[in-house]
Chain A
Amino acid sequence: MRRPQNLRPAAAPFLGFARLLRDHAFAIAPEQISSFMQAVTLLGPRSMNDIREAALSTLAPSPDRRGEFEAHFRAYFYGDAKPSIEAEEDDETRVKDDRGAREEENQVARQEKGGELSSELEQLSSRDFQHDDDGLGQFRRKLVSALPARRSFRTIRTRSRGTLDLRRSLKEIVSADGDIPSPLLRRRRAVPRKLLLLIDVSGSMKLHTADYLKLAHAAVQGADRAEVFTIGTRLTRITSALRIRDRGQALARAAALVDDWDGGTRMGPTLLAFLSVPRFSAFARGACVVVLSDGLERGSHAELEIAMRRLGARAFRLSLATPLAGDARFRPATSALRAILPVLDDLVDGSSIGSLTDFILSLARPAPAADSIWKRVS
């Protein structure tokens, strides 16, 4: 690319706009800037809309950041007030809605009144950071081999137990001028299934979310493909933050992304929001889905039931890890838990990092359905 001082004066604003986007963490390559300028020239430009269309087509902001892009465009070319949106990580996607704001306030008030439930939660809140750290290191190393495997459509060469690799065998024969060497075999590769963690960050889970985030960080670091979302009143994808190797930095970044910590619970609508984004719901397909939540849905649980049924239909295994199950007296007695129990593969203890890591490492082992286990217990 030419140096700015060699640029024609008319081109300077477009270069300036691309630089502004770069300053706000949009990944803009030099070739995109030259394409942008070419596009502007091709379109006339006859109006500001032509410049906008050229920018959208060539600088290619991701749909998640389209609003931010538009705000920067208006600020730069129209002199509007500077957008207040803070730069996000490129591949960060948030799905948020404010419909539950009032509901959230109500729930906080109700939780404050709750005596019996609060004391039960506090009972289960003991944490041992030193022990957790050790456990998580081991968990991270074991995770890839411990996750259930599926057969990929990609194949690998094998010496035994495979099907004839006709294409390569024939290629060998042709290269040997028709001589017949031993046939080559291939078989479908086994790949670990995806791991999807949905972490409830509502007020009732306050004592456990820090531990869950540590576990999620270890999972993202250890698994081939893991995705982590927080669910509360909103849905937030925090996977990219957790990809940072240093745990302290990763958790700080994740904490900054989520802005509904310790709020109310709108599990059903939030999970439905997750399912309505094709990119997210596609990740759940064939994955081990672990919902880390107490499952305490306020009001009607109809949406939670629908969402869990849809998740269950997509997932290879759908598990709910609840801190309440750490108590020996726990029974899935609430109407929400009773409604979703038939679609759950597992309803397990999520009260400590140790119990959770043990459970996730055992996902490849078959187990009776949650419904049958809890019917026996109660």
Chain B
Amino acid sequence: MPSADVVEIAASPEAIAARLAASRYLADDSLATAIFLAIRLSKPLLLEGAPGVGKTEAAKAVAELLGRELVRLQCYEGIDAGHALYEWNYQRQLLAIRHAGEHEIDIYDDRFLIARPLLQVLRAPVERVLLVDEIDRSDHEFEALLLEFLSDFQISIPERGTIRAATQPIVILTSNRTRELAEALRRRCVYHWIGYPDARREAEIIMLRSGDVAEATARAVSNAVQEIRARPLAKPPGIAEAVEWANAATILEKGGSPWPEAFRRAIGVLIKDEEDLSAITPELGRIVEEALA
């Protein structure tokens, strides 16, 4: 069961959406509902979506709305229990053995234990939010290890026994869907697919996230980005790139470049793939002019 203060914060999906907006994260009804359900059902939240749609940002915003520290576990090929759960500080243990001489020492004391993200969260579940970022990059073995953790929220350390979370921690997993995750993992989580926002919402996000971009510029950028994303690009631009494009174009415009030219010159912050750039460049003028109209 979630604690009383968490229930108070997560009173409804609308309350979540309002608090996320205060953290400068605009969530649609579906995402706010998924976050609400994950918190109230005490289940991990699995966010899937294309790169750049704001999955990690959502986790940061959830930590902020709950007033907790975010503990991030970045996954990669080869990540194992030593990187995710805990590790003994063997060097310190060896030194302690040498210094102890004939005296008895407990080399499995807390001071020799290096708590990795999962253990950190188990020890302080009401103070932290765990983000397991890009779980799709890890191996199947690590995913299985995580399943065990997510089922019982406990870790067994042979020398110390089992450490169990007093209350279930809030866990957010993200995946870019570069590989299919195990059904067992999806089953244990509240699931939400984050898509690219529509033009209106993206313009709102740009306004919220950028420095001093005019509303018309934000709308033009969001329209142009929608058009660009509809093409088969190797790396479709994410929301962060759209915000950067609006910012960069505004800076160039203030520096003396007229509007369509400012967008064209700043395209490097939006499209970061040489082939995508050469595919888009011939049409960029038309796309920008239509977006500005």
Contact = CB atoms under 8 A, between A and B. Distances in A.
Contacts of A38: 41
A28 B9 CA distance: 30
A24 interface: no
B33 A173 contact: no
Interface stretch (A273-281, A320-328, A332-340): A273-281
A57 B190 contact: yes
B86 interface: no
A158 interface: no
B90 A171 contact: yes
B124 interface: no
A298 B46 CA distance: 43
B266 interface: no
A78 interface: no
Contacts of A279: 177-180
B48 interface: yes
Nearest to A63: B193
A111 to B, nearest CB: 26
Contact of B191 (A60, A154, A173, A278): A60
B109 interface: no
A282 B13 CA distance: 35
A60 B180 contact: no
Chain A contact residues, majority secondary structure: helix
A57 B191 contact: yes
Interface string B173-202: 000111110010011111111000000000
Contacts of A60: 46, 186-187, 189-191
A62 B46 CA distance: 12
B233 interface: yes
A21 to B, nearest CB: 13
B23 interface: no
B54 interface: no
Given A39-B37, A269-B232, A279-B177, A174 B183 contact: no
Given A57-B34, A167-B82, A174 B90 contact: yes
Nearest to A282: B178
B136 to A, nearest CB: 8
Interface residues of B, number: 50
Given A39-B41, A152-B78, A309-B275, A276 B179 contact: no
Interface string A53-96: 11011101011001000000000000000000000001100000
A186 to B, nearest CB: 12
Contact of A58 (B77, B139, B190): B190
B193 A170 contact: no
Contacts of A50: 33
A53 B94 contact: no
Contacts of A120: none
Interface residues of A, number: 46
Contacts of A281: 234
Interface stretch (A29-37, A259-267, A350-358): A29-37
A66 B90 CA distance: 50
A53 B33 contact: yes
B88 A275 contact: no
Interface string B36-56: 111011010010101100000
Given A31-B187, A174-B97, A306 B78 contact: no
Nearest to A273: B232
Contact of A43 (B13, B177, B188): B13
Contact of A27 (B13, B33, B183): B183
Contacts of B48: 63
A64 B58 CA distance: 23
A91 B97 contact: no
B91 interface: yes
A273 B178 CA distance: 15
A316 to B, nearest CB: 15
A272 B88 CA distance: 48
A38 B38 CA distance: 11
A100 B234 CA distance: 21
B77 A310 contact: no
Nearest to A180: B94
Contact of A57 (B51, B88, B192): B192
B178 A178 contact: no
A232 to B, nearest CB: 17
Contact of B177 (A63, A167, A310): A63
Given A38-B41, A60-B186, A153-B76, A66 B275 contact: no
A155 B207 CA distance: 48
Contacts of B204: none
A153 B279 contact: no
A291 to B, nearest CB: 17
A154 B191 CA distance: 30
Nearest to B141: A154
A173 B76 CA distance: 29
Contacts of B29: 49, 53
A98 B89 CA distance: 60
A154 B139 contact: yes
A275 B232 contact: yes
Nearest to B184: A29
Interface in B53-78: 76-78
Given A57-B190, A63-B193, A174-B90, A278 B50 contact: yes
A167 B33 contact: no
Contacts of A153: 76-78
B183 A178 contact: no
B66 to A, nearest CB: 18
Contacts of B179: 279, 282-283
Nearest to A46: B12
A152 B190 CA distance: 32
Nearest to A271: B232
B187 A167 contact: no
B277 interface: no
11 contacts: A49-B29, A57-B33, A60-B190, A153-B76, A166-B90, A273-B232, A276-B232, A278-B51, A278-B176, A283-B179, A306-B279
Given A38-B41, A53-B30, A174-B88, 6 more contacts: A35-B43, A53-B33, A57-B38, A177-B97, A272-B232, A282-B178
